[in-house]
Amino acid sequence: MIDTHCHLDKTEFDGDRDAALSHARAAGVTDVVVPAIGPDGWSALAAWAARTPGVHFGLGVHPQLLPDLADLEAALGRGRAVGVGECGLDGPSVEAGAPLDRQVAVLRGHLQLARRHALPVMLHCLRAHDALLALLEEEPLPAGGVLHSCSGSADQVRLYLRHGLHVSFAGPVTYERARKPLEAARAVPRDRLLLETDAPDQTPRPHRGRNEPAFLPAIAAAVASALGTTVADVDALTTANARALFRLPR
Protein backbone atom coordinates (compact mmCIF):
# COMPACT_ATOMS: atom_id res chain seq x y z
CA MET A 1 0.00 0.00 0.00
CA ILE A 2 1.34 3.46 -0.90
CA ASP A 3 0.55 6.72 0.89
CA THR A 4 0.72 9.15 -2.04
CA HIS A 5 0.48 12.36 0.04
CA CYS A 6 1.94 12.46 3.52
CA HIS A 7 3.73 15.38 5.19
CA LEU A 8 6.18 13.38 7.28
CA ASP A 9 8.63 16.29 7.00
CA LYS A 10 6.45 18.58 9.12
CA THR A 11 7.39 19.55 12.66
CA GLU A 12 4.63 17.37 14.12
CA PHE A 13 6.89 14.38 13.36
CA ASP A 14 10.19 15.85 14.58
CA GLY A 15 10.14 13.72 17.73
CA ASP A 16 9.28 10.36 16.18
CA ARG A 17 9.60 10.52 12.37
CA ASP A 18 11.43 7.21 12.04
CA ALA A 19 9.04 5.52 14.45
CA ALA A 20 6.02 6.79 12.47
CA LEU A 21 7.56 5.34 9.32
CA SER A 22 8.18 2.02 11.07
CA HIS A 23 4.56 1.91 12.26
CA ALA A 24 3.43 2.53 8.69
CA ARG A 25 5.53 -0.32 7.37
CA ALA A 26 4.15 -2.62 10.05
CA ALA A 27 0.65 -1.66 8.87
CA GLY A 28 1.50 -2.63 5.28
CA VAL A 29 2.44 0.80 3.89
CA THR A 30 5.57 0.15 1.83
CA ASP A 31 6.12 3.63 0.38
CA VAL A 32 5.22 7.23 1.14
CA VAL A 33 5.33 10.25 -1.15
CA VAL A 34 6.11 13.45 0.76
CA PRO A 35 5.14 16.64 -1.12
CA ALA A 36 7.10 19.71 -0.04
CA ILE A 37 5.04 22.79 0.77
CA GLY A 38 7.79 25.43 0.72
CA PRO A 39 11.43 26.09 -0.22
CA ASP A 40 12.69 26.04 3.36
CA GLY A 41 12.17 22.30 3.55
CA TRP A 42 13.35 21.17 0.11
CA SER A 43 16.97 20.31 0.92
CA ALA A 44 16.26 18.48 4.16
CA LEU A 45 13.45 16.49 2.57
CA ALA A 46 15.60 15.45 -0.39
CA ALA A 47 18.42 14.38 1.93
CA TRP A 48 16.09 12.35 4.16
CA ALA A 49 14.50 10.61 1.18
CA ALA A 50 17.93 9.79 -0.26
CA ARG A 51 18.89 7.82 2.83
CA THR A 52 15.47 6.30 3.60
CA PRO A 53 14.17 3.46 1.41
CA GLY A 54 10.52 3.79 0.45
CA VAL A 55 10.41 7.57 0.94
CA HIS A 56 9.87 9.68 -2.19
CA PHE A 57 9.35 13.41 -2.49
CA GLY A 58 7.83 16.14 -4.59
CA LEU A 59 8.97 19.76 -4.74
CA GLY A 60 6.55 22.64 -4.81
CA VAL A 61 5.02 25.60 -3.04
CA HIS A 62 1.67 25.40 -1.29
CA PRO A 63 -0.80 28.07 -2.47
CA GLN A 64 -0.97 29.52 1.04
CA LEU A 65 2.67 30.65 0.76
CA LEU A 66 2.86 32.40 -2.63
CA PRO A 67 6.59 33.07 -3.08
CA ASP A 68 8.13 33.33 -6.52
CA LEU A 69 9.45 30.17 -8.14
CA ALA A 70 13.00 31.28 -8.88
CA ASP A 71 14.59 28.40 -6.96
CA LEU A 72 12.16 25.62 -7.85
CA GLU A 73 13.56 24.81 -11.27
CA ALA A 74 17.08 24.54 -9.87
CA ALA A 75 15.86 22.19 -7.15
CA LEU A 76 14.01 20.05 -9.69
CA GLY A 77 17.14 20.00 -11.84
CA ARG A 78 19.03 18.23 -9.08
CA GLY A 79 16.87 15.22 -9.76
CA ARG A 80 15.22 12.51 -7.64
CA ALA A 81 11.90 14.36 -7.23
CA VAL A 82 8.97 12.16 -8.31
CA GLY A 83 6.58 15.06 -8.83
CA VAL A 84 5.95 18.80 -8.71
CA GLY A 85 3.95 19.90 -5.70
CA GLU A 86 2.22 20.35 -3.46
CA CYS A 87 0.77 23.21 -5.48
CA GLY A 88 -2.69 24.40 -6.40
CA LEU A 89 -5.45 26.80 -5.46
CA ASP A 90 -6.90 27.48 -2.02
CA GLY A 91 -10.17 29.33 -1.60
CA PRO A 92 -9.82 30.04 2.13
CA SER A 93 -6.43 31.64 1.50
CA VAL A 94 -8.09 34.23 -0.74
CA GLU A 95 -10.04 35.38 2.30
CA ALA A 96 -6.78 35.42 4.30
CA GLY A 97 -4.98 37.70 1.83
CA ALA A 98 -3.63 35.49 -0.97
CA PRO A 99 -5.38 36.83 -4.11
CA LEU A 100 -6.67 34.18 -6.49
CA ASP A 101 -4.98 35.77 -9.51
CA ARG A 102 -1.62 35.52 -7.73
CA GLN A 103 -2.33 31.89 -6.81
CA VAL A 104 -3.19 31.14 -10.43
CA ALA A 105 0.05 32.74 -11.64
CA VAL A 106 2.14 30.69 -9.19
CA LEU A 107 0.31 27.50 -10.12
CA ARG A 108 0.78 28.21 -13.81
CA GLY A 109 4.53 28.36 -13.14
CA HIS A 110 4.39 24.97 -11.42
CA LEU A 111 2.56 23.42 -14.35
CA GLN A 112 5.07 24.79 -16.81
CA LEU A 113 7.92 23.32 -14.77
CA ALA A 114 6.10 19.99 -14.60
CA ARG A 115 6.00 19.90 -18.39
CA ARG A 116 9.65 20.95 -18.68
CA HIS A 117 10.81 18.22 -16.32
CA ALA A 118 8.24 15.61 -17.45
CA LEU A 119 6.92 15.16 -13.91
CA PRO A 120 3.38 14.66 -12.59
CA VAL A 121 1.85 17.41 -10.46
CA MET A 122 0.36 17.05 -6.97
CA LEU A 123 -2.59 19.42 -6.93
CA HIS A 124 -4.28 20.97 -3.93
CA CYS A 125 -7.73 22.43 -4.51
CA LEU A 126 -10.09 23.67 -1.82
CA ARG A 127 -13.16 25.70 -2.76
CA ALA A 128 -11.55 26.77 -6.05
CA HIS A 129 -12.51 24.01 -8.47
CA ASP A 130 -13.91 26.25 -11.21
CA ALA A 131 -10.69 28.27 -11.35
CA LEU A 132 -8.50 25.17 -11.37
CA LEU A 133 -10.50 23.47 -14.11
CA ALA A 134 -10.31 26.64 -16.20
CA LEU A 135 -6.52 26.77 -15.79
CA LEU A 136 -6.15 23.11 -16.76
CA GLU A 137 -7.89 23.90 -20.04
CA GLU A 138 -4.96 26.23 -20.81
CA GLU A 139 -2.10 24.21 -19.29
CA PRO A 140 -1.88 20.56 -20.46
CA LEU A 141 -0.21 17.96 -18.26
CA PRO A 142 1.63 15.44 -20.46
CA ALA A 143 3.00 13.58 -17.42
CA GLY A 144 -0.35 13.66 -15.62
CA GLY A 145 -0.78 14.29 -11.95
CA VAL A 146 -3.10 13.82 -9.01
CA LEU A 147 -5.89 15.83 -7.43
CA HIS A 148 -4.99 15.16 -3.81
CA SER A 149 -7.52 14.73 -1.02
CA CYS A 150 -10.40 15.14 -3.41
CA SER A 151 -13.04 17.52 -2.06
CA GLY A 152 -15.01 17.84 -5.30
CA SER A 153 -18.22 16.23 -6.42
CA ALA A 154 -18.52 13.23 -8.69
CA ASP A 155 -19.33 15.58 -11.59
CA GLN A 156 -16.21 17.65 -10.89
CA VAL A 157 -14.12 14.49 -10.70
CA ARG A 158 -15.26 13.54 -14.19
CA LEU A 159 -14.00 16.92 -15.45
CA TYR A 160 -10.61 16.43 -13.81
CA LEU A 161 -10.31 12.99 -15.38
CA ARG A 162 -10.47 14.60 -18.83
CA HIS A 163 -7.14 16.27 -18.05
CA GLY A 164 -5.41 12.95 -17.36
CA LEU A 165 -5.39 13.35 -13.60
CA HIS A 166 -5.49 10.63 -10.99
CA VAL A 167 -7.72 11.29 -7.98
CA SER A 168 -6.69 10.57 -4.39
CA PHE A 169 -8.83 10.15 -1.30
CA ALA A 170 -7.96 10.78 2.33
CA GLY A 171 -9.56 10.64 5.78
CA PRO A 172 -12.90 12.28 4.88
CA VAL A 173 -14.05 9.05 3.16
CA THR A 174 -14.14 7.48 6.65
CA TYR A 175 -16.21 10.18 8.36
CA GLU A 176 -19.56 9.20 9.78
CA ARG A 177 -21.60 11.35 7.39
CA ALA A 178 -19.36 10.97 4.37
CA ARG A 179 -21.41 11.07 1.19
CA LYS A 180 -19.84 13.35 -1.41
CA PRO A 181 -16.32 11.85 -1.17
CA LEU A 182 -17.69 8.33 -1.47
CA GLU A 183 -19.75 9.29 -4.54
CA ALA A 184 -16.63 10.91 -5.97
CA ALA A 185 -14.59 7.76 -5.34
CA ARG A 186 -17.15 5.69 -7.24
CA ALA A 187 -16.77 8.06 -10.22
CA VAL A 188 -13.03 7.40 -10.57
CA PRO A 189 -11.90 4.64 -12.96
CA ARG A 190 -9.90 2.03 -11.12
CA ASP A 191 -6.72 2.84 -13.02
CA ARG A 192 -6.85 6.46 -11.78
CA LEU A 193 -7.56 5.84 -8.09
CA LEU A 194 -5.04 6.66 -5.33
CA LEU A 195 -4.96 6.69 -1.53
CA GLU A 196 -3.34 9.11 0.90
CA THR A 197 -3.39 10.17 4.54
CA ASP A 198 -2.38 13.85 4.20
CA ALA A 199 -0.81 13.29 7.62
CA PRO A 200 -0.62 14.92 10.10
CA ASP A 201 -4.03 16.32 9.09
CA GLN A 202 -7.39 14.70 8.20
CA THR A 203 -7.17 11.78 10.64
CA PRO A 204 -9.40 8.91 9.48
CA ARG A 205 -11.95 7.27 11.75
CA PRO A 206 -11.78 5.45 14.11
CA HIS A 207 -8.41 7.08 14.91
CA ARG A 208 -8.11 10.38 16.75
CA GLY A 209 -5.37 12.96 17.22
CA ARG A 210 -2.39 13.29 14.91
CA ASN A 211 -2.76 11.49 11.61
CA GLU A 212 0.05 9.26 10.36
CA PRO A 213 0.69 6.95 7.41
CA ALA A 214 0.01 3.84 9.50
CA PHE A 215 -3.68 4.82 9.32
CA LEU A 216 -3.86 4.38 5.54
CA PRO A 217 -5.59 0.95 5.79
CA ALA A 218 -8.65 2.66 7.33
CA ILE A 219 -8.95 4.82 4.22
CA ALA A 220 -8.47 1.79 1.98
CA ALA A 221 -11.26 0.00 3.85
CA ALA A 222 -13.69 2.91 3.37
CA VAL A 223 -12.91 3.12 -0.36
CA ALA A 224 -13.25 -0.66 -0.71
CA SER A 225 -16.67 -0.52 0.93
CA ALA A 226 -17.77 2.30 -1.39
CA LEU A 227 -16.64 0.32 -4.45
CA GLY A 228 -18.09 -2.96 -3.27
CA THR A 229 -14.74 -4.73 -3.33
CA THR A 230 -12.04 -5.91 -0.93
CA VAL A 231 -9.25 -4.01 0.80
CA ALA A 232 -6.77 -6.33 -0.92
CA ASP A 233 -8.16 -5.31 -4.30
CA VAL A 234 -7.97 -1.59 -3.45
CA ASP A 235 -4.44 -2.08 -2.12
CA ALA A 236 -3.31 -3.82 -5.30
CA LEU A 237 -4.84 -1.40 -7.77
CA THR A 238 -3.87 1.82 -5.95
CA THR A 239 -0.32 0.57 -5.39
CA ALA A 240 0.05 -0.21 -9.08
CA ASN A 241 -1.43 3.19 -9.98
CA ALA A 242 0.96 5.05 -7.67
CA ARG A 243 4.01 3.19 -8.96
CA ALA A 244 3.05 3.97 -12.55
CA LEU A 245 2.21 7.65 -12.00
CA PHE A 246 5.30 8.50 -9.92
CA ARG A 247 7.56 5.94 -11.60
CA LEU A 248 8.44 4.36 -8.27
CA PRO A 249 10.76 1.36 -8.10
CA ARG A 250 9.33 -1.92 -6.89
Q: Provide the terminal-to-terminal Cα distance of the chain, rounded to the nearest Å.
A: 12
pLDDT of residue 69: 78
pLDDT of residue 63: 79
How far is CA 108 from each of CA 11, 13, 58, 138, 240, rounded to the nearest angstrom?
29, 31, 17, 9, 29
pLDDT of residue 67: 64
The rounded distance, in Å, linking the Cα atoms of 63 and 92 is: 10
pLDDT of residue 100: 94
What DSSP element (H or E) covers 106? helix 100-117
The rounded distance, in Å, linking the Cα atoms of 179 and 71 is: 41
Contacts of 239 (CB under 8 A, 6+ apart): 1, 2, 30
Contacts of 209 (CB under 8 A, 6+ apart): 203
pLDDT of residue 119: 98
pLDDT of residue 95: 86
How far is CA 157 from each of CA 69, 130, 150, 160, 193, rounded to the nearest angstrom?
28, 12, 8, 5, 11
User: What are the pLDDT tens digits along the chain (250 aa)?
Assistant: 999 999 999 999 999 999 999 999 999 999 999 999 888 889 999 999 999 999 999 999 887 766 667 789 999 999 999 999 999 999 999 988 889 999 999 999 999 999 999 999 999 999 999 999 999 999 999 999 999 999 999 999 999 999 999 999 999 999 999 999 999 999 999 999 999 999 999 999 999 999 999 999 999 999 999 999 999 999 999 999 999 999 999 8
Dihedral in degrees, nearest 10, Cα atoms 15, 18, 21, 26: -110
